[in-house]
Homo-oligomer: A and B are copies of this chain.
Amino acid sequence: MPELSLSADTPVGVIERIEAMLPQLSKTMAKIGMLLLAEPTAPLEMSITDLAERAGTSPATVTRFCRLLGYPGYVQFRVSVAADAARTSDEERRADIGRTLRPDDSAQDVLRNLLNAHERSLRATAALLDLDMCARVAARIAGCRHLDIYGTGGSAAMAAELRNRLYRIGVNAHAWGDVHAGLASASIQDEDTVAIGISNSGLTNETIDMLGSAKESGAFTVAITNRRTSPLGQLADATLIAAVPELYLHPADLSAKHSQLFVLDLLYLLVAQRNYDATLERIAASAAAVLGRRRPDPNHGAQPRGLQQVPGTSTGPAKSPNSTRSN
């Protein structure tokens, strides 16, 4: 069984970890988490006792909380918080996270919140990913004779996307969005198969069934889901978490797609890396094949992708080559 809480040294901050874990936390733990999200620097000024009191809980629980996040104890947690605070000191961090769409938001508001939410969910996903596990999964994919990918509904597109990518670099992959076809495939797999089930909630019956069937056939099973504790996650031999800090965007799970895609990206790269040269060749070949279906590029060596002409984005920044203001 893989390690269950966070690995200690991911390239992202404490806040992201908390966000990533929040959905999985118990009520009391969540209280601590919320407090820290509201006041990320609290641990720097307060002792564990103060913090516990502030969160309406006990020091013992705070210690456990730190452990969950992957730190040996409160002291190390505090150090990490300090490091984080230094990095992001005066950022817009506390802008208005966790807001839902409101009818009177301006387009700019919507855009800003959306960007914020996505960035955070990507970071959370990165924070929560078990890299060792990813590497192991990639190794198995690279070495397997066949790869089955299951996903229905919205996740069907994800499954297909992963299939497309991996197939292009030489993995014998199939994606199944239909239960019947998927079950048929799952039932004829063996130990040389890797099976991946994609479901955001991890509760989708169809996907669970397909992955379960593949497991019965002896395949090495991988779940890509939002929650390790979901049925799908429990079922699989390896679970990769695409974290969606649920509270962000009310209307729909927009971030879920991004997080899932992110995990797929990583998986793809890790597999590609294992056979680097061959991969480059294959990609070049398949790109060439698609070229025939394309118009010739009108401005070939010219300036890159129309970056220069900035549209009438109200505040015409002109001037600045990258108007990526950090607001």
Contact = CB atoms under 8 A, between A and B. Distances in A.
Contact of A252 (B64, B165, B258, B310): B165
Interface in A252-280: 252, 254, 257-258, 261-262, 265-266, 268-270, 272-273, 276, 279-280
Contacts of A206: 293
Contact of A295 (B10, B118, B231, B314): B231
A101 to B, nearest CB: 6
Contacts of A107: 131-132, 134-135, 270
Interface in A107-153: 107-108, 110-112, 114-115, 118-119, 122-124, 126-135, 153
Interface in A1-53: 1, 3-12, 24-27, 29, 44
A270 B3 contact: no
A311 B82 contact: no
A8 B252 contact: no
Interface stretch (A180-188, A190-198, A299-307): A299-307
29 contacts: A4-B307, A8-B323, A8-B325, A9-B326, A24-B303, A26-B302, A27-B301, A71-B324, A72-B318, A72-B324, A83-B86, A86-B87, A101-B276, A110-B266, A110-B270, A111-B266, A114-B269, A115-B122, A128-B307, A132-B313, A132-B314, A201-B294, A204-B294, A206-B293, A230-B298, A243-B305, A254-B268, A254-B269, A258-B258
